[in-house]
Structure 1
């Protein structure tokens, strides 16, 4: 067994985005530290850890926010002010974030901002580049974030604070925002529904998709 860093969307979920309840017990019983690493805002992985019943160890906002119950320290990196400038220029050009009038996706974000995957990507990327930012396409949203922030940076921070080398982690994910963690991990798995970037960076690609793929990866790690 080894420490585990795991994505949420597309990895712990079904195809419809709902959490697959079969993932709960394997995470609860994993004997080494489990870190939930996601592009979602901070409250989502916190809530997930609490409902699953595991210590709150999280990398949120694609590496922009890191919290560990072990030392009760919350760290932020990134540039939300610049992300906000990107979003303002994007909306001033007539584009929409695509979340409706009550935007829970961005309401609690501290280090980045996200645009619905149904919105236009090209102008968002152009504005982000002009502002010195970048866009992560996670398959669920377009995340405007600082170029120095990714989940790999978050995993290094977690490793330092837990005194665990990133190469001692197993990582499971599905998206380009997981690739930086894959590069650091001792072993990495992309679930079969993963995007091309994740699959190219992973050591292994599961045969099954979504949570089935995650469970397949955990079984391989146990063996």
Structure 2
């Protein structure tokens, strides 16, 4: 067994509760982890601005991986790496979402554009990332700066069907994966939470086997595939759990803190 030297966690459905709270047990778990000499950071489908409300109180000093790891920023949100969706992929995604009757959002590094306020998910996202969108009838002028395009729908089955269809249409020009049952994210090609894990391993000079990852959704699977200790949340779907080495409790039952306990116990067994 390899001693874990870094933990990378997803945010929504993992680090925080359903109502987006960072619990006292979660804060304490991160403090204990870092006191043991293990690093900690976050990766998420969120834009950079939507991560700082958790990275600041946790005292994170390592780079963060917003937009499903396709960008890398410092804890003060200075850009270290940024990758954009190619114009052709942006066009394909927007056209497929339009044909399917799916709402479309477009995120640049520092803005969030919507075409209409659905009264539900826009409000939910605004509350989640603590940032207000900009209305735009036409998203085309912003396509050249797109870090993420999101298809949004309350029809979860529709988004699930759309996911492989859109990925097939995109080919290797972009990645299409659901970050929530109601969000289908399009992000830059060749970049994922898995590449964020690899980049962090290189930055810190450690093996990927020495990294533990914690997540709950399809967009977390790339980091599960390259990390030494992938941990699924209890609220994850069965197909996500099957790809993990360990399943912890639900996010609303302090499953994140329990996952950190498991990692510390793992290191105690390994020694050092």
Aligned-residue CA RMSD (Å): 3.0
State the secondary structure of the residue aligned to 2:14: coil
Task: Determine the C-alpha separation between the residues in 2 that align with 1:90 and 1:13.
Answer: 32
Task: Determine the C-alpha separation between the residues in 2 that align with 1:163 and 1:173.
Answer: 23
Change (3 A) 1:59 1:107: farther
Unaligned runs of 5+ in 1: none
Instruction: Determine which of 13, 20, 25 is the counterpart of 2:22.
Output: 20
The reply on whether 1:136 has 2:177 as its aligned counterpart is yes
Match of 2:198 in 1: 156
Change (3 A) 1:170 1:92: closer
Task: Determine the C-alpha separation between the residues in 2 that align with 1:81 and 1:46.
Answer: 29
- Higher-Rg member (1/2): 2
Match of 2:111 in 1: none
Shifted more, 158-167 versus 99-108: the winner is 99-108
The reply on whether 1:181 has 2:183 as its aligned counterpart is no
- Does the Cα contact within 8 Å between 1:90 and 1:124 map onto a contact in 2? no
Task: Determine the C-alpha separation between the residues in 2 that align with 1:98 and 1:78.
Answer: 17
The reply on whether 1:115 has 2:154 as its aligned counterpart is no
Query: Once the 2 structures are TM-superposed, how far is the Cα of residue 107 of structure 1 from its aligned partner?
Result: 5.6
Match of 2:71 in 1: 65
- Does the Cα contact within 8 Å between 1:49 and 1:56 map onto a contact in 2? no
Number of aligned residue pairs? 220
Shifted more, 178-187 versus 149-158: the winner is 178-187
Match of 1:41 in 2: 47
Query: Once the 2 structures are TM-superposed, how far is the Cα of residue 199 of structure 1 from its aligned partner?
Result: 0.9
- Does the Cα contact within 8 Å between 1:112 and 1:143 map onto a contact in 2? yes
Query: Once the 2 structures are TM-superposed, how far is the Cα of residue 179 of structure 1 from its aligned partner?
Result: 1.6
Query: Once the 2 structures are TM-superposed, how far is the Cα of residue 78 of structure 1 from its aligned partner?
Result: 4.5
State the secondary structure of the residue aligned to 1:52: coil
Query: Once the 2 structures are TM-superposed, how far is the Cα of residue 88 of structure 1 from its aligned partner?
Result: 2.7
Change (3 A) 1:33 1:27: same
State the secondary structure of the residue aligned to 1:201: coil
Task: Determine the C-alpha separation between the residues in 2 that align with 1:131 and 1:189.
Answer: 29
Change (3 A) 1:86 1:169: same
The reply on whether 1:30 has 2:30 as its aligned counterpart is no
Unaligned runs of 5+ in 2: 106-113, 135-144, 266-272
Query: Once the 2 structures are TM-superposed, how far is the Cα of residue 8 of structure 1 from its aligned partner?
Result: 0.5
Task: Determine the C-alpha separation between the residues in 2 that align with 1:33 and 1:134.
Answer: 28
Query: Once the 2 structures are TM-superposed, how far is the Cα of residue 152 of structure 1 from its aligned partner?
Result: 0.6
Change (3 A) 1:91 1:24: same
Change (3 A) 1:94 1:5: closer
Task: Determine the C-alpha separation between the residues in 2 that align with 1:115 and 1:91.
Answer: 6
Q: TM-score, normalised by structure 1?
A: 0.83
Instruction: Determine which of 258, 263, 267 is the counterpart of 1:221.
Output: 263
Task: Determine the C-alpha separation between the residues in 2 that align with 1:39 and 1:10.
Answer: 12
